[in-house]
Chain A
Amino acid sequence: MNEMREDKGLAFFGRVTASVSHEMNNVLAIVNELAGLVNDLLYGLKQGDDNGLERLGQAAEGIQKQIRRGEEIVKRMNRFAHSVDDPISEFDLHVVIADMAAMAQRRAALKGVRFETMLCQEPIMITGVRFEIQRLAFAGFELASSALAGGGTVSIASRRLENLAEISITAAAWKENGDVLKMKSELSADMRRLNGTLFWELGTAINFPLVLSFPIALSVEKRGQ
């Protein structure tokens, strides 16, 4: 059982790092082109062509924009890397949702799926195994993007209930093929193992919301209480 958990953890780690490195590589590729363009324009200016002056400023702004994008990616990756530092830690569920949605977005985009997060205003503080919660949130987002095979929008919302936290992942035009059913079954088992529940409510024929409810064994409280 422990080996299976380690395998799943490693597979999750691999998927996340592959996605992050792909995104970071794109940032580097854009900076590479913009820096090249700056060189091209400077060469033109030296030859007396002033037409590139405005574009030069835009290219420099573009580089700064990509550096900010890269910083965000690195910050997310750093939080992810440090999420295994302590077996149990206190963390804001919203940060986990935002990080995992961003990290799952690239793979989802390849399927034509876009994530839309609508998180409640106040932080939802959880004390628990952050790495596992991240893995489950990521698995939920991947499940939703696989179920939306034709593409579309997946809505991710959060709420704090009496003694548990809830992430709801909702999408229209849900399709339950073999892969989706397998992912659903694995996720249900993982949730049970953590004393949590996977609610799978069938709505209308085209709307099959998935609700991931986080473990009641974890303490959930508002920041400052």
Chain B
Amino acid sequence: MEHFSVLLVDDEAELVYTLAERLVIRGCDAAAATSSGDALKILAEKKFDVVVLDVKMPGMSGIELMRAIKKTNPQIKIILQTGRGSIEESKEGIREGAFDYLVKPVQIDDLIKKMKQALGKPS
């Protein structure tokens, strides 16, 4: 069982809610948001250890969301999710403070491993 909290952000609702459900099955305290605005509202009400966010989102992009999160919660670990076309943006995200990025489709075990690395937990 995994004991950390994670907020998942992606505009593909079925993707983000299903992934959250699977992380809950594995013992994570997982929540999901389908827009940057919703993510910021959730973060204002609850603290999370990790935020996993999609780089390409309508309105405020993933990188812009990361900057906004880092302003108020610099300790939160950020992991970016990207399609193959946005890898350069993800590298830029790492330069700006993201822990790492994963290319979609992501295998859940790889995601959990990456989150543990970000939190300095043994994987």
Contacts and interface: CB of A to CB of B under 8 A. Distances in A.
A and B associate in one complex: yes
Interface of A: 18, 21-22, 25-26, 28-30, 32-34, 36-37, 40, 44, 59, 62, 66, 109-112, 151
B71 interface: no
Interface stretch (B44-52, B57-65, B113-121): B57-65
B83 to A, nearest CB: 5
Interface of A is mostly: helix
Contacts of B57: 110
B21 A37 contact: yes
Contacts of A44: 25
Interface of B: 11-12, 14-15, 18-19, 21-22, 25, 56-59, 61, 83-85, 104-108
A112 B59 contact: yes
Contact of A37 (B22, B61, B84): B22
Contacts of A29: 12, 15, 104-106
16 contacts: A18-B85, A22-B83, A25-B83, A25-B84, A26-B104, A29-B12, A29-B105, A32-B106, A32-B107, A33-B19, A34-B18, A36-B18, A37-B18, A44-B25, A59-B18, A62-B14
